[in-house]
Structure 1
Amino acid sequence: MGRCTGAVEAGVPGQANVLGQANAPGNAHEPSRPRKARRAHRLRRALLATLITGAVVVPLSGAARPEIPAPAPAALATPVTAATLDATYAANRANAAEASRMAAAHGDRERAAADREMADPSRHFLSFDGRGPGLATEVFGDLAHADHIAVLVPGSDTSIDTYDRFRDAARALYERLARQAPQGTRTAVLAWLGYETPATVSTTVTTTARADEAAPKLREFIRQLRATTAATTADEQSGSANQRPHLSLLCHSYGSVVCGRAASHLDVDDIALVGSPGTGADTAVALHTRARVWAARGGDDWVGEVPHVRLDLLGTTVGFGTDPISPAFGARVFAAGDGGHSDYFRPGSTSLANLTRIVLGETPEVSHG
């Protein structure tokens, strides 16, 4: 699940009333109900909203976009080091420029424009693949010398066509880090669009299928990132002991399902789950990670209405289990303010301030939710 757009955010006829019923004036009597009755009512309301969404909107998502031609990804050195970073960035910009030309020749002006923006000389991509929905990993900051690195994992409806909103989140975090980091501390943020995300309004977004496909890719990316920073440090220190950068994984919405599926094999220091529908695990311990596990949800995030259950339906598991901000899950819950599902990286927000502290390793300063 990613930034809620289209019919879900604006509301399908009938759906907005279902989702907004809890705060409607006509429901002023609800607090007087017994707690179990209120909980059952909320569950029924959320399930009804899901059914309405599926019945009204899912059929509209069936029309697949025609395949957009693009070149194969550029051949790159592995692992990337300080000596090869500039060549890597240049190769991916050239690939994006060629993808833009091919998309324009195909008549897709929207994709051509998106690819052309990615080919700008100011952009730095560790990877780029313009085929299909598109994949990319963009770097903000000096990766070769960073002491603290954050990797953002997006939720649904994130592709090259919608990439700007994901980029805005990464850039906002990097700018906050640059202002808040102690003098002499170097930071970098990586926007990892390394998997094909599900559509927000689809049956795929209710299962772990895409996350299961993405988890090995995320594990390999983190492994290569660790190898890159280790190789860079060794080059600079002539083989002396490596200073490992502090590495944080920030996972938004359906991206938290991806992080949950990959967690047991990730060499990271912190995993932060924001706007999460669940991870597929019942507890933070069940993620089998040595990383600190954090979780937050904004007060106006519609994910709070999603039932945190797992159901076996016709051989398919639907839902993602325990709510990550619940005491039963056992994560370190931090404050996210009153923001909505798309506000976790909004400049000036409580959530961005706390995510910045997590990335910088200033864990005692994180305000609790």
Structure 2
Amino acid sequence: MTTRSRTARTPRRVRLRRGVLAALVAASVALPVSGAAGATEVPAPAPADLAPLRAATGADLAARYAARRDDLRAAADAAEEHGSHKRAAALRELAAPERKFYSFDGRDGGRSVEVFGDLARADRIAVLVPGADTSVDHYDRLRNAAEALLREAGPRTAVVAWVGYRTPATVSTDSITAGRADGAAHELTAFSAELADLRPGTPASYLCHSYGAVVCTLAAPGLSAANLVLFGSPGVGTDAVRAADLGGRAVVWAGRGSADWIGGVPHVSLDLGITTVGFGADPAAPEFGALPFDAGDSDHSGYLSPGSASLTHLTGIVTGEVAPADTRKAPRENTATPGNTVSGRA
């Protein structure tokens, strides 16, 4: 192919990417307008102002969880008074005696951090950072994912479901810009420091899905993380073109299921003047340099589904049974040896 023919094709490729992103913007603006126009925030009281924990003892954590249950019940009462019966019912379910919320704030759509397992005694911690459409009203999928990971990893693991930001709607302009992720990254960095102070020396893996992967890459320089795992990611949300550009000391992993629609999203970043859409480099691309893990045939919502190859290999990263050395020896489509299949670990 001549230089001229190559250069002639490049503008068409650029125009195609611009066209796809323009269509995304148009759809994001048009589709939610009718719903957004009448939307109102459900009121909630401010949570109790608790002193920072100095250590993750069982007694101190139990007191923290009890206080947050009170906050959840107060938010449920406020929602009921407002006439938001569905939200009230969801909050009362979250306030069940067996649930362990490290933090909760029902204002502005809600923020929460829930613990699964024994944070006081765990030998390792997995922090799940979800993407779009995760909220008090749409929480079951994240809870199911956390419980599936805990079952697979075993009782020596604590799983933390971190919803420390107002996640964007899937079909919205917020979901194709890094605006929400910028603020969320600061919150995640602060939580990471708090967790490291509570459990010094305990390795923490951050498992970041979809838009949550953008949050994690922006937070990467300040995360106290052993592993940073990006899956179903629309891009990195920064100018990074390689994993080493993200900063921080975490080992960076990436994977994408063969049935995940996000693989068809253009991994570009376009400055439209009033905003920038797209998230830049694809962390699952070989040239990015992240360590690959086998995500199997997962679709966009199925990475932590029970019995999936993706859950098996994500668990192996958390427990240390899938190590960086394994991925260098194994082909990309099979990043774990048969002995790394994990289920019900001690």
User: How does the TM-score come out when normalised to structure 1?
Assistant: 0.80
Following superposition, the deviation at residue 86 of structure 1 comes to 0.6
Counterparts of 1:61 and 1:359, CA distance in 2: 40
Contact 1:61 1:202 (8 Å CA) reproduced: no
Q: Which residue of 2 aligns with 1:192?
A: 162
Contact 1:69 1:102 (8 Å CA) reproduced: yes
Contact 1:96 1:128 (8 Å CA) reproduced: yes
Q: Which residue of 1 aligns with 2:63?
A: 87
Following superposition, the deviation at residue 79 of structure 1 comes to 2.5
Following superposition, the deviation at residue 131 of structure 1 comes to 1.4
Q: Which residue of 2 aligns with 1:69?
A: 43
Indicate the larger mover: 98-107 or 245-254. 98-107
Counterparts of 1:37 and 1:311, CA distance in 2: 15
1:46 to 1:336, Cα distance in 2 relative to 1, 3 A: farther
Counterparts of 1:38 and 1:300, CA distance in 2: 27
- Identity percentage over the alignment? 52
Q: Which residue of 1 aligns with 2:77?
A: 101
> 2:256 matched to 1:297?
yes
Aligned pairs, number: 316
Contact 1:256 1:276 (8 Å CA) reproduced: yes
Q: Which residue of 2 aligns with 1:336?
A: 295
1:51 to 1:97, Cα distance in 2 relative to 1, 3 A: closer
Partner letter of residue 234 of structure 2?
P
Contact 1:265 1:289 (8 Å CA) reproduced: yes
Q: Deviations over 1:22-78 (max 9, x none)?
A: xxxxxxxxxxxxx98997898588547625633651434533531212121122231
Q: Which runs of 5+ in 1 are unaligned?
A: 1-34, 179-184, 231-243
Partner letter of residue 232 of structure 2?
G
Contact 2:111 2:166 (8 Å CA) reproduced: yes
Q: Which residue of 1 aligns with 2:5?
A: none
Following superposition, the deviation at residue 321 of structure 1 comes to 0.7
Q: Which residue of 2 aligns with 1:204?
A: 174
Q: Which runs of 4+ in 1 moved over 4 A?
A: 35-49
Counterparts of 1:154 and 1:55, CA distance in 2: 23
SS at match of 1:308: coil
Following superposition, the deviation at residue 99 of structure 1 comes to 1.1
Q: Which residue of 2 aligns with 1:245?
A: 202
Q: Which residue of 2 aligns with 1:13?
A: none
SS at match of 2:160: strand
Contact 1:212 1:258 (8 Å CA) reproduced: yes
Counterparts of 1:38 and 1:335, CA distance in 2: 33
Counterparts of 2:145 and 2:38, CA distance in 1: 27
Q: Which residue of 2 aligns with 1:158?
A: 134
1:105 to 1:260, Cα distance in 2 relative to 1, 3 A: same
1:314-329 to 2 correspondences below 5 Å: 314-329=273-288
1:169 to 1:72, Cα distance in 2 relative to 1, 3 A: same
Q: Which residue of 1 aligns with 2:223?
A: 266
**RMSD of Structure 2 on Structure 1 (CA):** 2.3
1:42-81 to 2 correspondences below 5 Å: 43=17, 46-47=20-21, 50=24, 53-54=27-28, 56-63=30-37, 65-81=39-55
1:335 to 1:37, Cα distance in 2 relative to 1, 3 A: farther
Counterparts of 1:156 and 1:97, CA distance in 2: 25
Following superposition, the deviation at residue 110 of structure 1 comes to 0.8
